[in-house]
Amino acid sequence: MKGDRPGLFGETARRSRRGSSGSAGRRARPGSSGWAGGRGGGRGRGRPGPRRTASPSARRRRAGYLFSLPGLVFLALVLAYPLLYNVWTSVHDVRLTELLGGSSPFVGLDNYRTTLDDPDFWHAVRLSLVFTAGSLLFQFTIGFALALLFARPFPFNGLLRSLLLVAWLLPPVVSGTLFRWMLDQDAGAYNALLRAVGPDSLAHDWLIDPGTALAGVIFANVWVGVPFNMLLLLVGLHTIDPELHEAAALDGANAWQRFRWITVPLMRPVSVTVLLLGLVYTFKVFDLVFVMTGGGPVDATSVLSLYVYEIFFKFFRFGEGAAAGLLLLLVPLLAGAWYVRRLRGEGEAA
Amino acid sequence: MSHPVDRRGFLRAAGAGAAGLGLGSALAGCGSDKQSGTVTLTWWDYFTLDNFQAAFTRLIKDIEAQVPGVRIERRTFPFADLERQITLGAVSGDLPDIAIVDNVSMNTLAGSGLLADLTERVEDWGQADQYYKGPWDGCQVDGKSLGIPNNSNCLALYYNTRMLDSAGVKPPTTWDQLADAAQRLTSGERFGLAMSAIRTEEGVFQFLPFLWQAGGDLDTFATDGATALAFLDDLVAKGSLSEQCVGWTQQDVNTRFVNGRAAMQINGPWQLPTIKKTDVEFGVVALPRDKEAATCLGGENWVVMASSDHQDKAWQVLEYTQRPSVLVPFLVGLGNLPARKDLADTGTWASDPALRLFLSQLPVARPRQYGPGYADAAQAVAEAEQSVLTGTSSPSAVARSAAPKIDRALEER
């Protein structure tokens, strides 16, 4: 075993991680949730004791409910209540004028209809999809490339990696402001760079031209997202047993073949997780875009989250805003549901 | 009248309202023969910058000393957050007794039922005619007085004296002169004119004067809007105005002016303290006119919330702040202009030529008083301006397509 490989969690953590991908580890997971009433394949099997009336398992289950109660209450307060309130709002005509009187009439699905009939909404949906797809594509490929790079030892590896992480640690408002400044045509660093290496015409007011503003915002978001992708993918790379590569090399597989047939398939679960997290995060990005362009120029970067924000806090049409907000939630929700199903399927298959 | 509590209460952070209430009422009980105890009034505003704090501290201290039985608990929010906080407060029931709001917020707040009707109190007070028409009208909605103007500002044209002198250009007074001057002052990295055309209310605030100067208003956007847009489009086409202005706030514009990247700028009096700290030699003239002279009115209004249990006390506070002996030092401390005509010859604005110019523009300054649909109309205006200045569409085409949106928004009642 090569000890000099920069391990993120150290050697022991790595071994235990690898262990958890074995069958024993797989089964341990559903088993541990058995007391909370999981569909326990492992529950009965684990305790073959004599079955009495109020069995310990029932008592355990009761205790489990009790222990999860504070968490459930917390979730209900901070998640369920606002969400339900939002649903309520979305089927009422809530405007600033009715806020105090409380006479917000029930309007059924009118708010959804208004939203779905609004060309600006669909414009925002398109922008959000382009923004998300573009961000994910570049974040992931660049992140993957960097992860491959940092997975091998070289001088200052750790230092460079920590520096890259700073990008991810910055609050979006800060990175947004930074990029707004760097992409500025007069004073911006990027245009100075472009002018230095090429003709003046390369310099461009990225955020001022409606044709390139979205690209500028995606550029910033990619920069923000790359370290996160790299970090998770690097962890993923460390879970791949180096012996597999060694064996393949002995069998005569070249570097590309080893990458294609060992690294890529084994990285699939991590990749899916990374992409999904990226999707959930990117689809609802607000602060970065808000700071960089405020939705402009014209409406070139008015992504869905900004659309919802404006309906709420610029036009004060709360009912419509709630409806649009729930529609905004739909994409991450569907992606999340798909992922959970997939995880569960994997757990059962093992 | 001197309460020992005043200074102590003041020195403590405004957050200790409850304690202040208890202590204050105990003292009021033994110290005075007034039947009412001390009430704590909550007060919201958006004057967060450091250089405003001294004026507010002093005003609040004076109020607590001079208005019987009042204690003030002040909370400040960032500019963009105040209106949102008020609407969120309306949902959660957490609203202040009094607030100082942007005058354009009256469009949104007026119809909301959130503001207390001050009509009778204002009539008894009888000082309505002391105010400039624009600021005063901005507080009158559907025949009701919903606020009192506190201070006013408006836009004018700043110019760099040295640049104009060396180019042999006189400060422009008409659109043609402005276009000509801007072109002759443009060179290299320097633009002749800088203004804000950002997609927010700031950009609209700077655009509306052009619309009004063209002789129109929001309801004639299809024609006069096209004229105003074409004028600005031409400035950009000739390179006299940077296309980047679609991303500039008024603060950015001023930075360009101070750095010598713009020979002229359209901006308000609140930039004066910043400019005066630099060695830029500047002058200020009225915005150049086309068919009419016009500028946009900014400033803040005092409002009392309808939900307040202490509207009488709140009104007493408002009335107190409007006494010339209180208002003049307060506004001087803020670097703001009065909304009262009778204060024109006092304070720094009587002697400072730049402030004096801004003050002289108040009679032609128009409030953005268009009713609850204004936010939608303003958004349509901002997007129209941006699509012209970025070369996405032609002035006439975009004015024609924006006009029905604006009309629809303004019909909203």
Burial class (CB in 10 A: 0-12, 13-18, 19+), A342: middle
Give the best residue of B229, B386, B410 to mutate against chain A (max A CB count within 10 A). Answer: B386
Question: Strand pairing partners for B301?
Answer: B101, B149
Burial class (CB in 10 A: 0-12, 13-18, 19+), B33: exposed
CB distance A319 to A94 below 8 Å: yes
- Tell me whether residues A297 and B111 touch, CB distance under 8 A: no
Give the best residue of A99, A195, A290, A298 to mutate against chain B (max B CB count within 10 A). Answer: A298
Beta strands in B261-404 (DSSP E): 262-267, 282-285, 295-304, 337-338, 365-366
B344 versus A97: which is more confidently predicted? B344
Smallest Cα distance from B412 to chain A, Å = 12
The mean pLDDT of A327-340, rounded to a whole number, is 90
Distance CA A53, CA A40 (A): 20
What pLDDT does B111 receive? 83
Tell me the chain B residues in contact with residue A316 when contact means C-beta distances shorter than 8 Å. 87, 108, 375
What pLDDT does A103 receive? 74
What pLDDT does A52 receive? 53
Q: Directed axis angle between helix A304-313 and helix B79-92, to 10°?
A: 70
Rounded to 5°, the CA angle A221-A224-A225 comes to: 85
Between β-strands B295-304 and B148-154, what pairing exists: parallel, antiparallel or unpaired? antiparallel
- Tell me whether residues B112 and A99 touch, CB distance under 8 A: yes
Where along chain A do its domains lie? 88-117+317-350, 123-295
Q: How many C-beta atoms surround the C-beta of residue A231 within 10 A?
A: 20
What pLDDT does B36 receive? 56
Residue A318, helix vs strand vs coil: helix
A75-114 residues touching B, CB cutoff 8 A:
96-97, 99-101
The mean pLDDT of A176-187, rounded to a whole number, is 82
Q: For residue A125, what are the contacts with CB-CB under 8 A and spacing of at least 6?
A: A304
Query: Residue A186's pLDDT band (boundaries 50, 70, 90)?
Result: low
Between β-strands B156-160 and B282-285, what pairing exists: parallel, antiparallel or unpaired? antiparallel
Render each residue's pLDDT in chain B as its tens digit; 413 residues: 334 334 333 333 333 333 333 333 334 333 333 445 899 999 999 999 888 899 999 999 999 999 999 999 999 999 888 998 998 888 788 999 999 999 999 998 988 889 999 999 999 999 999 999 999 999 999 899 999 999 999 999 999 999 999 999 999 999 999 999 999 999 988 999 999 999 999 999 999 999 999 999 999 999 999 999 999 999 999 999 999 899 999 999 999 999 999 999 999 999 998 899 999 999 999 999 999 999 999 999 999 999 999 999 999 999 999 999 999 999 998 888 999 999 999 889 989 999 999 999 999 999 999 998 999 999 999 999 999 999 999 999 999 999 999 999 998 75
Q: Directed axis angle between helix A264-283 and helix A318-349, to 10°?
A: 160
CB distance B337 to B359 below 8 Å: yes
Is the model's pLDDT at A97 over the cut of 90?
no
Distance CA B77, CA B16 (A): 18
Q: For residue A331, what are the contacts with CB-CB under 8 A and spacing of at least 6?
A: A128, A279, A283
B67-126 residues touching A, CB cutoff 8 A:
83-84, 87, 90-91, 108-109, 111-114
A144-183 residues touching B, CB cutoff 8 A:
180
Distance CA B315, CA B312 (A): 5
Q: What is the pLDDT of residues A138-176, one digit of tens each?
A: 999 999 999 999 998 888 888 988 888 887 888 989 999
What pLDDT does B183 receive? 97
Query: Residue A274's pLDDT band (boundaries 50, 70, 90)?
Result: very high
| Percent of chain A topping pLDDT 70 | 81
Query: Residue A37's pLDDT band (boundaries 50, 70, 90)?
Result: very low
What pLDDT does A8 receive? 41
What pLDDT does B260 receive? 95
Within an 8 Å CB–CB cutoff, is residue B229 touching chain A?
no
A209-238 residues touching B, CB cutoff 8 A:
209-210
B250-289 residues touching A, CB cutoff 8 A:
261
The mean pLDDT of A85-100, rounded to a whole number, is 84
Tell me the chain B residues in contact with residue A101 when contact means C-beta distances shorter than 8 Å. 113
Please, what's the b/e burial string for A45-54 (b: 16 or more CB within 10 A of its CB; e: otherwise)?
A: eeeeeeeeee
CB distance A102 to A189 below 8 Å: no
Tell me the chain A residues in contact with residue B117 when contact means C-beta distances shorter than 8 Å. none
Within an 8 Å CB–CB cutoff, is residue A185 touching chain B?
yes
Query: Residue A100's pLDDT band (boundaries 50, 70, 90)?
Result: low
Nearest chain B alpha carbon to A302: B199
Record: fold of A123-295: MetI-like fold (1.10.3720)
What pLDDT does B27 receive? 40
Question: Strand pairing partners for B153?
Answer: B298
Nearest chain A alpha carbon to B259: A187
Alpha helices in B102-259 (DSSP H): 105-110, 119-125, 133-137, 161-167, 175-185, 201-213, 226-237, 250-258
Residue listed under structure tokens 């073949």: A257
Between β-strands B70-76 and B365-366, what pairing exists: parallel, antiparallel or unpaired? unpaired
Q: How many C-beta atoms surround the C-beta of residue B307 within 10 A?
A: 18
Within an 8 Å CB–CB cutoff, is residue A241 touching chain B?
no
CB distance A302 to A311 below 8 Å: no
- pTM for the predicted model, two decimal places: 0.81
If you count them, how many residues does chain A have?
350
Question: Strand pairing partners for B265?
Answer: B158, B194
Is the model's pLDDT at A41 over the cut of 70?
no
Query: Residue A197's pLDDT band (boundaries 50, 70, 90)?
Result: confident
Residue listed under structure tokens 């609850």: B372
Omega prior to A297 cis, within 30 of 0: yes
